[in-house]
Amino acid sequence: MPRAYIIILLDEEISRTPNHDAGIAAMSISMVAYDEGLGSCILGAVEREKLREILKVPEFLAVALVVALGYPAENPVVEPVKDGDIKYWLDENGVLHVPKRNLKDIVRWNE
Ligand SMILES: Cc1cc2nc3c(=O)[nH]c(=O)nc-3n(C[C@H](O)[C@H](O)[C@H](O)COP(=O)(O)O)c2cc1C
């Protein structure tokens, strides 16, 4: 259960690349959180209008992303993707397995 949420707001009148900026901010927050021993999850699937109402976000600011923060309760294991399946799974001991594609499978080189 997250202990805190950071809502990243965009003033779209002052940047022409607002979504890039929000992504950079979210990533920076996650990395600093990790360095401080916190877990994080970047959330894009949020109820923006509800958040706006609850937090009284003025109209000129757009709700871009949310970063949930908390003390990690799991020790997930990163492992290579098998048979193209990237779904996370829990084993019988409650360990979360997180399949990741290999770098060589996602990097493309010019001729
Ligand atoms: C822009 C963006 C939006 C995301 N939105 C969600 C979300 O709404 N809900 C969710 O569970 N994960 C969301 N994720 C995925 C998690 O933040 C996280 O990146 C993902 O679980 C991969 O983490 P892991 O591979 O280190 O476990 C989003 C990621 C990004 C980059």
State if residue 14 touches ligand 1 by the CB under 6 angstroms criterion. Answer: no
Is the pLDDT at 59 greater than 90? The verdict is: yes
The DSSP result for 55-102, as a single string, is HT--TTEEEEEEEEEE------EEEE-BTTB---EE-TT-PEEEEE--
Dist. CA 14 → ligand 1 center (Å): 27
Atom of ligand 1 nearest to the CA of 40: 17
Decide if 24 contacts 18 (C-beta within 8 A): no
Say yes or no: CB of residue 41 within 6 Å of ligand 1.
yes
Over the stretch 3-55, which tens digit does the pLDDT of each residue have?
Answer: 999 999 999 888 888 899 999 999 999 999 999 999 999 999 999 999 999 99
Distance 60 CA to ligand 1 centre (A): 26
Q: What is the mean pLDDT of residues 61-89?
A: 94
Ligand 1 centre and the CA of 67: distance in Å? 9
pLDDT tens-digit readout, 87-101:
999 999 999 999 999
